[in-house]
């Protein structure tokens, strides 16, 4: 197997990636999303890639941990921070040259975290029409937000149909961790 070139610095810092790299890393992110689906989690998977090495990866763990912040991106950020500690690297210097690949557009919370971590590039599959932070609901990625990190580039639409199909599959099944409906049924009144 031929080694692929590491992402090259983009103008102004950051990283650039080839179509081959996008396909390679999105395939792995899709596998993470499938693992999430099999674990009755919203099927989102992601990877953080620095110098052609996965330094963090994650899938949603919200239902498993009962912690609403355990989105795939947040799990991957934690792993990347741990990788930096073990490698003796500065997180800021690593994150400034790291690309994130994720199957679904990051939500507002995750987009804000990615911006604060100064991730320069996010490649994602389908849009997140309910919670998207890269343009679908809010554009955290490029908005003028003083003192909140750096705007980042987004490349949307890679394997979007496959990501949507996994989401549909998840939402068709019963989520055992979903809150019980609070809709009251009208009771019959007798005279």
Active site amino acids: 73
Residue 129 contacts by C-beta under 8 Å, 6 or more apart in sequence?
A: 136, 137
From 177, 162, 151, 144, select the one nearest 40 (Cα to Cα).
177
On whether the CB atoms of residues 43 and 86 are closer than 8 A, the answer is no
Find tokens 């996008």 and name the residue: 22
Give the C-alpha distances (Å, rounded to integers) separating 3 from 22, 52, 78, 100. 15, 9, 27, 20
């Amino acid at each position: 197997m031929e080694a692929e070139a590491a992402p090259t610095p983009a103008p102004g810092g950051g990283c650039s990636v080839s179509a081959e790299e996008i396909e390679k890393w999105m395939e792995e992110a899709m596998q993470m999303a499938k693992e999430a689906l099999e674990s009755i989690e919203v099927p989102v998977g992601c990877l953080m890639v620095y110098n052609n090495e996965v330094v963090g990866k994650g899938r949603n763990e919200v239902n498993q941990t009962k912690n609403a912040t355990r989105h795939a991106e947040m799990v991957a950020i934690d792993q990347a921070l741990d990788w930096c500690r073990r490698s003796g690297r500065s997180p800021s210097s690593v994150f400034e040259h790291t690309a994130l690949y994720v199957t679904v557009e990051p939500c507002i919370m995750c987009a804000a975290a990615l911006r604060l971590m100064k991730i320069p590039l996010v490649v994602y599959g389908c849009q997140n029409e309910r919670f998207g932070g890269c343009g679908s609901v809010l554009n955290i990625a490029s908005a003028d937000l003083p003192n909140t990190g750096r705007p980042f580039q987004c490349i949307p639409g890679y394997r979007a149909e496959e990501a949507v199909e996994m989401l549909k599959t998840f939402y068709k099944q019963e989520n055992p961790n979903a809150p019980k409906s609070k809709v009251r049924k009208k009771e019959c009144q007798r005279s």
